[in-house]
Structure 1
Amino acid sequence: MPVTPASPAAPTATADLRLDAALLLLEQSGHALPAGEPGSARWLQGLVDALCDLSSRDALTGLVNRRSFLVALNRELDRVARAGEPALLLTVDVDHFKAVNDTHGHAAGDEVLRAVARALQDSVRPMDTVARIGGEEFAIILPNCPPAFGETVAERIRRRIARQAVPQPNKAPLAVTASLGGAYAPPWVRSTASLWTERADLQLYRAKAQGRNRVCIEPTAVSQVSAEEKGLLFGTSQFQDLEP
């Protein structure tokens, strides 16, 4: 006699959900609690949205975190490959940050990072993506930023950071500077996030080596296609037979 398959389990009732930890997490992070009647569809959707936002943000600065930054970076690479429009990636590193922590303590270091985060966001357009990607390292994705304007934008950011005077209790304010490196996504080329980031980091290392508190940017979008990018273009496309 055939066995009738068991019916799927009914969805867990709202009353059975353990939401205390999620609500506590939002409260501790300073995030607004969801609006609406607790347990209602509107309230649950607000809770999900708040948790998604929290998971995409750096807890200290409120900027986009590394995971969300990589998603945005790949999305911008896809756009540049399709449309050929210019896009600039800036990597930003706070100068002598270890000395700040060692001399003034980690609380002062946290205030420096928050101040730099505010300076970065105040210096860019709403369409730009500002992220903290680790430690004292930040990154900015600037869509539709031609090479003619890249240096000007980066210098404006550098100066804005240098104007920061981070207050300290019963001490003189801390001066802050940062070094910036920039690279353009190669237009009409299917590149990768790692290749684009490496190019920007190379310019950042130049800025550090030349004395810090300065900007180094590739003068134009990279015209030479790397072997890896060539493989991405030809290896899985209809043009494979055209590869030299």
Structure 2
Amino acid sequence: MTMRVADLRLDHARALLRRSGVDVPVAGDVPTAQELQAIIDALCELSERDALTGLPNRRAFLGRLAQELDRSSRAGETALLLMLDIDHFKSVNDRHGHLAGDAVLRAVARTLQEQVRPMDTVARLGGEEYGIVLPNCGPGAGVMLAERLRQAVAQQAIALPDGRSALHVTVSIGGAYSPAWVRSTVEHWLERADRQLYEAKRQGRNRVMIEAVPVSDVSAEEKQALFAWSDPDGLIIDPADAV
């Protein structure tokens, strides 16, 4: 039987999913439309996951940040972006090997996930850097949560692959709040949080630095304009009047 290129690519896709721990069963030689859609959905999910930690990757995280910025600009809800970096991570790899480094990355990922709310998103952005976005998070709660994250990581004994030793690591954390009622960009938000992370590392690491909440003086008329949208005829519609 001659194998078509499309069949070969389908086999490769299913093999990739199986190597990642996902198996999408196909009943016959040719997948049904539903089976093909399940494979596509699984591949899309896989493309947004970090292979080592299972966390959302940078691509998925940027999408979440864009959603929260939109919510902040339309509804005035403040979200907090945290950037975390494992302190002196290079020395872990140098002294204990890359398998130990991988164990540390996975352990820190688990700890961060255990400390946040279900609505929050923890992602691995690359290397030893993580990002967390916390929707509807005020300044008091944000500082306390960031401190809790820092302490939880510092207190964790991470078992190394040799099974005979454990390691403690710390993290530096920088944070910035989304501006309420103001249009901004993901890049600017990341840059603000990254500046705070740099400052936390400059001041000695293993600490939290969070930017003050931006103050946005927006009138009732300006808020109304943010909520309004145009219909196909160009008329401005108030959502309160929409059915």
In 2, are the aligned partners of 1:158 and 1:178 still within 8 Å (CA)? yes
In 2, are the aligned partners of 1:186 and 1:222 still within 8 Å (CA)? yes
Unmatched 5+ residue regions in structure 1? Answer: 1-13, 225-232, 234-244
**Within-5 A mapping of 1:137-152:** 137-152=129-144
Task: Tell whether 2:89 aligns with 1:97.
Answer: yes
RMSD of equivalent CA atoms: 1.9
What secondary structure does 1:154 align onto? helix
Tell me the TM-score normalized by structure 2.
Answer: 0.82
| Amino acid aligned to 1:201 | D
Out of 212, 215, 237, the residue aligned to residue 219 of structure 1 is 212
Residue number in structure 2 paired with 1:172? 165
| Amino acid aligned to 1:51 | L
The alignment covers a number of residue pairs equal to 211
Residue number in structure 2 paired with 1:163? 155
In 1, are the aligned partners of 2:79 and 2:136 still within 8 Å (CA)? yes
What secondary structure does 1:17 align onto? helix
Unmatched 5+ residue regions in structure 2? Answer: 218-225, 227-243
Distance 1:155 1:170 in 2: 30
Task: Tell whether 2:188 aligns with 1:198.
Answer: no
| Amino acid aligned to 2:125 | I
| Percent identity (aligned) | 60
Distance 1:215 1:123 in 2: 16
Q: Greater CA deviation, 57-66 or 16-25?
A: 16-25
1:120-167: CA deviations, max 9, x gaps? 111111111111111100000100001121100101111111122111
| Amino acid aligned to 1:27 | R
| Cα displacement (A) at 1:28 | 1.2
Task: Tell whether 2:13 aligns with 1:22.
Answer: yes
What secondary structure does 1:37 align onto? coil
Distance 1:80 1:94 in 2: 29
Distance 2:6 2:124 in 1: 37
Out of 9, 24, 29, the residue aligned to residue 34 of structure 1 is 24
**Within-5 A mapping of 1:39-188:** 39-168=31-160, 169-188=162-181
